[in-house]
């Protein structure tokens, strides 16, 4: 399965009122492995970024003056994305901007080029309801190193999103490590009859019992006397 993780940076928040894309970063995964076949563009938006946007991405107006316009990279970008599953964090925002850029150069809407669009923000809200689900928050929650992300950058954010997605869909495995490789699972394990073993029972000592009771007391205080362990013991004794 070919998957592309995509992120954009823009001059502001509203494509409808004239804001433009200034950076596009794409990271390719094939069968859940990084391929290195990535795409990255800086673009001349033909307008200045809003002050608040500059604080987010730090890409100066002067830096973008000699960069290509979207029209110059549109064919290359859409050929690269064609027929892939596109994975974006807050897809509505990025797809809205890309639709506007495609419209301005007379091309079809974004979704007509790709197989599907998956929104990791929607996924995260379903998995972690009521919690912060920004990319930074997910990196922190899932153990993804984002220490290099002092400012937003489309390619770096796409790389982080790929790692976040792997964690969201497969647990806490690192992006490039298969803890249970298909070959390693083909092991002829010898069956052991555990009934032949006499396992010792080690009782808690006085200090451990005291620590356990103290922990239960603290739980009682914080739960208003609803510690399940003590309720069950009380029911048995009764």
Enumerate the active-site residues.
152
Residue 146, SS3? Answer: coil
Query: Residue 56 and residue 124: Cα distance in Å, rounded?
Result: 22
Phi, psi of 52, deg, nearest 5? -65, -35
Which are the contacts of 147, defined by CB distance < 8 A and separation ≥ 6?
A: none
Query: Residue 95 and residue 103: Cα distance in Å, rounded?
Result: 12
Cα Rg of the chain, angstroms:
26
Query: Residue 165 and residue 139: Cα distance in Å, rounded?
Result: 10
Phi, psi of 194, deg, nearest 5? -70, -15
Cβ–Cβ contacts within 10 Å for residue 3, how many? 19
* Nearest residue to 16 (alpha-carbon basis) of 119, 91, 88, 104: 104
Check: CB of residue 141 under 8 Å from CB of residue 132.
no
**The tokens of 194 are what?**
């555990």
């Amino acid at each position: 399965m070919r998957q592309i993780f995509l992120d954009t940076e823009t001059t502001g928040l509203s494509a409808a009122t004239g804001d433009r894309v200034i950076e596009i970063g794409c990271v390719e995964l094939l069968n859940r492995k990084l391929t290195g076949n990535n795409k990255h563009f800086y673009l001349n938006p033909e307008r200045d970024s809003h002050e608040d946007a500059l604080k987010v991405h730090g890409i100066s107006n002067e830096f973008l003056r000699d960069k290509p316009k979207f029209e110059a990279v549109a064919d290359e970008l859409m050929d690269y994305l064609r027929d892939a599953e596109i994975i974006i964090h807050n897809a509505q925002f990025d797809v809205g901007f890309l639709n506007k850029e495609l419209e301005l150069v007379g091309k079809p809407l974004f979704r007509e080029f790709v197989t599907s669009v998956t929104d990791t923000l929607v996924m995260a809200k379903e998995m972690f309801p009521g919690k912060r689900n920004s990319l930074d928050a997910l990196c922190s929650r899932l153990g993804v190193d984002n220490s290099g992300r002092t400012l937003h950058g489309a390619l770096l954010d796409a790389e982080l999103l790929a790692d976040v997605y792997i964690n969201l869909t497969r647990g806490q495995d690192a992006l490039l490590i298969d803890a249970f490789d298909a070959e390693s699972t083909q092991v002829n394990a010898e069956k052991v009859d555990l009934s032949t073993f006499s396992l010792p029972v080690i009782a808690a000592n006085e200090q451990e019992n005291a620590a356990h009771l103290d922990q239960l007391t603290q739980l009682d205080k914080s739960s208003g006397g609803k510690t399940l362990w003590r309720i069950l013991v009380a029911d048995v004794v009764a």
